[in-house]
Chain A
Amino acid sequence: MFQGQRGWFCRSVSQDLRQFWVDEGGTVSDVQAADFLFSCDASHPDTLRIYQSLEYIEDNATVFHAYYLSAVANTEMKNSVALGHFVLPPACLQKEIRRKIGSFIWEQDENFLVKKHDRI
């Protein structure tokens, strides 16, 4: 499913999810070369570095929550999972965003994802 695509993983992402990416044909790369940036923790130093980079400021680096991968792993219609719903904004913005739109999708599905996560 991820054939030929390069992903960067923050150290906050579990080994399982990284493995799923690789099993589905993706490769793991450094930040510069990556098409996809995955993180599970917006305040992890690895991810913070992205939020402070010129690439991010210039709209060239969106971080996605790695729960996207577990959502994909847990559904039959793998392409129906909308990556666009898994944007991970900087930690300092999350409170304000949550106030306006309620919880993030990865928070809503946390229990569901964790429960099924063991199966991966």
Chain B
Amino acid sequence: ASDNCSKMLKYRCSGCIAVRKLLNSRNFSKLLHSCAYLCDHHKVIMEAEDKYKSELRKALICGKEILLTPRRRQLSKES
């Protein structure tokens, strides 16, 4: 565990060093995305979250399309 800590101290990205005064739940994600050299810790978290978000986005769009597709037309096409 402490090995992980020292790793984080050795290499710090903007996600690590940004002071809290300039940082909040609203801008943190954007800050990570704008950082060119992320540390392993933030890179892994950001990539995982991005994947999750894009899946959620897809699900959201699909959900909307299903709602928007007129059911009747589908049925008439089949007959």
Interfacial residues, chain A to chain B (CB-CB below 8 A): 5, 34-37, 51-52, 56-57, 59-64, 79, 81-85, 87, 89-90, 92-93, 96-97, 100-103, 105, 108
Contacts and interface: CB of A to CB of B under 8 A. Distances in A.
B4 A102 contact: yes
Interface string B1-31: 1111100100000011111100111101110
Contacts of B53: 56-57, 59
Given A60-B26, A85-B8, 11 more contacts: A35-B26, A36-B25, A62-B26, A62-B28, A82-B16, A84-B16, A84-B18, A97-B45, A101-B40, A108-B2, A108-B4
Interface in B32-51: 33, 40-42, 44-45, 48-49
B38 to A, nearest CB: 11
Q: Is the interface of A mostly helix, strand, loop or mixed?
A: mixed
Nearest to B29: A59
SS class of chain B's interface: helix, strand, loop or mixed? helix
Contacts of B75: none
Interface residues of B, number: 32
A103 B25 contact: no
Contacts of A82: 16-17
B19 A79 contact: yes
Contacts of A84: 15-18, 23, 28, 42
A90 B52 contact: yes
Nearest to B26: A60
A90 B28 CA distance: 16
